Copies of this chain bind each other. A is one copy, B any other.
């Protein structure tokens, strides 16, 4: 394994340990609810957001233990959004992270509640993080809520995405959807790592700009993989974007131009790191990884 693989493996291990401590056990009542949460949370997700948060925190010298709960909280918010996105009235998907979606396995009502309460548990995790000052905790609650909310965050993007289905939308509208739907929470991970490491506001902004481009790159490569990979290798239904008539980068630009675009966005992302007088090797490795990922 190369250095990044080791970092990713280690990040996944410790974020899973932290999540396991923060989520009620499957033996705690109501058991079915906690089983459903754990089903979706421990399904072998890539933990991209925690990895980015750890890497950013590391650039700014934040001790690992101050990053753990915040990384877990962001992963909870991300997983809640996946559970709700997969529902019959939304994307109606049966497969996620290589297994049945939450509502296929536990029914729709429990899946809705599992998503609802993962959001609550995320804010509990931040609020009760004894390693951070009250000022920092409250800043992080505000940052995550803004990134997950509306009009500047994830749910606003999800709403616009739903409304765009089957329509021809402009490339600006597509960029806006992805910036909100996936970019905001990814940018919040970069910001959170920097804030916990005591970065200046100017540094936080640079990391945000890098993370936002990285989020866009992640979305572009997601669109490419949806076309070029199989359902088995993705762990979620491949070819979904075309069958749902979703606006994507390949549907706008074609696959060749989209791959070129990915390269450009990658370069734009890492340029934001240049003025930072901090070790950024790991962040650059992550950007390369996102550019060339195959799943």
Residues of B within 8 A of A134 (CB): 133-135, 137-138
Contacts of A142 in B (CB 8 A): 124, 127-128
A112 contact set on B, CB distance < 8 A = 84, 87, 89-90, 112
Majority secondary structure of chain A interface residues (helix, strand, loop or mixed): helix
Q: How far is the CB of A92 from chain B (nearest CB, A)?
A: 10
Which of the candidate stretches A27-35, A224-232, A280-288 sits at the interface with the other chain? A27-35
**Central interface residue in A28, A29, A149, A159, by most chain B CB within 10 Å:** A159
Q: How far is the CA of A107 from the CA of B28 in the complex (A)?
A: 34
Q: How far is the CA of A148 from the CA of B30 in the complex (A)?
A: 14
Residue-wise, chain A 23-54 has the 8 Å CB interface mask toward B (1 for contact) of: 01000111011100000000000000000000
Decide if B29 touches A160 in the complex (CB within 8 Å): yes
Q: Which of A121-140 contact B (CB under 8 A)?
A: 121, 123-124, 126-128, 133-135, 137-139
Asked if A119 CB lies within 8 Å of chain B CBs, one says yes
Quick check: is A246 within 8 A (CB to CB) of the other chain? Answer: no
Q: Which residues of B contact A107 (CB under 8 A)?
A: 89
The residues of A with any CB-CB pair to B shorter than 8 Å are 24, 28-30, 32-34, 80, 84, 87, 89-90, 107-110, 112-113, 115-117, 119-121, 123-124, 126-128, 133-135, 137-139, 141-142, 145-146, 148-151, 153, 155-156, 158-160, 162-163
Known A-B contacts A84-B112, A84-B116, A151-B29; A145 and B162 likewise in contact (beta carbons under 8 Å): no
Taking CB atoms, residues of chain B closer than 8 Å to A135 are 134
Q: Contacts A151-B24, A158-B113 given: A127-B138 contact, CB under 8 Å?
A: yes
A160 to chain B, nearest CB (A): 5
Is the pair B163, A30 in contact by a Cβ cutoff of 8 Å?
Answer: yes
Complex contact B124–A149 (CB within 8 A): yes
**Which residues of chain B have C-beta atoms less than 8 A from A108's C-beta?**
89
Q: Lowest 10 A-B CB distances belong to which pairs?
A: A89-B108, A120-B149, A127-B142, A117-B155, A124-B145, A30-B159, A127-B141, A134-B134, A33-B159, A89-B109
**Interface contacts beyond A30-B151, A34-B150, A116-B155: sample of 5 additional A-B pairs, CB < 8 Å, sorted by A:** A34-B151, A113-B155, A120-B155, A121-B149, A138-B141
Bound: A195/B279 CA distance, A: 44
- Inter-subunit contact A32/B119 (CB<8 Å): no
Cα–Cα distance between A127 and B145 once the two chains are bound (Å) = 9
What CA separation (Å) do A178 and B148 show in the bound complex?
30
> Using Cβ atoms and an 8 Å threshold, which residues of chain B touch A32?
159, 163
A30's closest neighbor in chain B, by CB? Answer: B159
- A160 contacts B30, CB within 8 Å? yes
A117, B33: Cβ atoms under 8 Å? no
